[in-house]
Amino acid sequence: MFRYALMGALMLSSAAALADGVSYSYIQANYQEIDIDFGGGADADGDGFAVAGSAEIGENWFIFANYSTFDLESVVDYTTLDVGAGYHSDVSAKTDWYATFGYAEAEVEAQGFGSADDSGFGVSLGLRSMMSESLELYGNIAYTDLGDGADGTAIGAGLWYTVSGNLALGLGAEFDDDVTGYGVGLRLYFD
């Protein structure tokens, strides 16, 4: 489960387009739908919300933070927090590659069964390309490890569309062996 939450946050935190190119400085809110396969015929659907932010701290460096909360089948609450740093560079005038590394934390609370939490790290590598002044397409691959066999790799893709000035709307999807997720987001840039 945590793989999707972290990847969803990273996926939706891939910064949207501005007239000068991609921006790594923003705050945003997301809504996400997920379907988790626990194995043995058990699966759960759920939805949740996330808040995220990123700030450029140099010509090619940025920091980020994400908090997500999900409600699965109205009986399991799932929250995640991740913070970290990233590096980006030009591939061409309209395309960036980026890499992130961060601390990851997850907590699951089931009604009547208590809660469990764990922490670890996540890394990602992605491409972001400006199709026009307002439209950015992105794709990424990410790995998350929370220890004790709780690790996984996910692939994500989506778009951000700047509707006016510093406001953008986003759509994205994330896939791994056990989780399928879709999300929409609203972002405000502060470049």
> Where exactly are the structural domains of the chain?
2-189
**Average pLDDT estimate for 35-63:** 87
| Nearest CA among 51, 50, 41 for reference residue 70 | 50
Task: Give me the phi and psi of 14, to 5 degrees please.
Answer: -65, 115
Largest Cα separation within the chain, whole Å, is 55
pLDDT of residue 20: 58
pTM of the model: 0.81
CB contact set of 62 (below 8 Å; sequence gap of 6+): 24, 25, 54, 55, 56, 85, 86, 87, 88
**Average pLDDT estimate for 147-158:** 86
CB contact set of 110 (below 8 Å; sequence gap of 6+): 75, 76, 77
If you classify domain 2-189 with CATH, what class do you get? mainly beta
Beta-bridge partner residues of 119: 105
| Average per-residue pLDDT for the chain | 85
**Average pLDDT estimate for 166-184:** 91
The span from the CA of 165 to the CA of 106, in Å, is 35
Beta-bridge partner residues of 86: 62, 100
pLDDT of residue 10: 42
